[in-house]
Amino acid sequence: MVRQLFIAWCLLAVSVVIHAYGVVAVLNVVRRKELPLGHVRPWVWLFVRIAGWIVMLHVAEIMAWALVYRWRDAMPDIQSAMYFSAVTYTTTGYGDLVLPKSWRLVGAVEALTGILMCGWSTGFFFAVVSRMFTPAAKQE
């Protein structure tokens, strides 16, 4: 069990690193954007691109967990591992696939990690949306 918890901690760290680099990359793009206040269309296009990027970050994090589940034979194949990881990370938790007993705590850590990363994404997205209503002079 200690080994699996260490693996879970490492995967949590990988998720945080992926998310941090991804959010910083988007933040650098957003900071360079000069979008007009009162014009919704350019902001909507920015929100669509940010949402797509954030979803891709989450998919990369889900994939990292899935690859370890498969590598350690906690799941029978990569498709099952990806599916299980996605429903666990998003806390959907259908329960049609379960980890072996010795790995169940790892699944719980993945769910907690997913909650944390989704919260981070939500906070970031809210900050960008808030910027839409901030005059350019106050943004610097």
Burial class (CB in 10 A: 0-12, 13-18, 19+), 112: middle
Say how many CA atoms lie within 13 Å of 87 toward its Cβ. 13
Q: What is the pTM of this model?
A: 0.89
Alpha-carbon distance 104 to 112, whole Å? 13
Fold adopted by 2-134:
Helix Hairpins (1.10.287)
Residue range 19-78, pLDDT digits in tens: 999 999 999 988 887 777 667 788 888 899 999 999 999 999 999 999 999 999 999 999
The band of 135, judged by pLDDT with boundaries at 50, 70 and 90, is low
Q: At residue 137, does pLDDT exceed 70?
A: no
Residue 128's pLDDT is 86
From the CA atom positions of the chain, what is the Rg in Å? Answer: 18
- Expressed in angstroms, the distance from the first to the final Cα of the chain is 49
Give Dmax over CA atoms of the chain in angstroms: 56
User: Hey, is 135 helix, strand or coil?
Assistant: coil
Alpha-carbon distance 7 to 108, whole Å? 13
User: Hey, is 132 helix, strand or coil?
Assistant: helix
Beta-carbon count within 10 A of 20 CB: 12
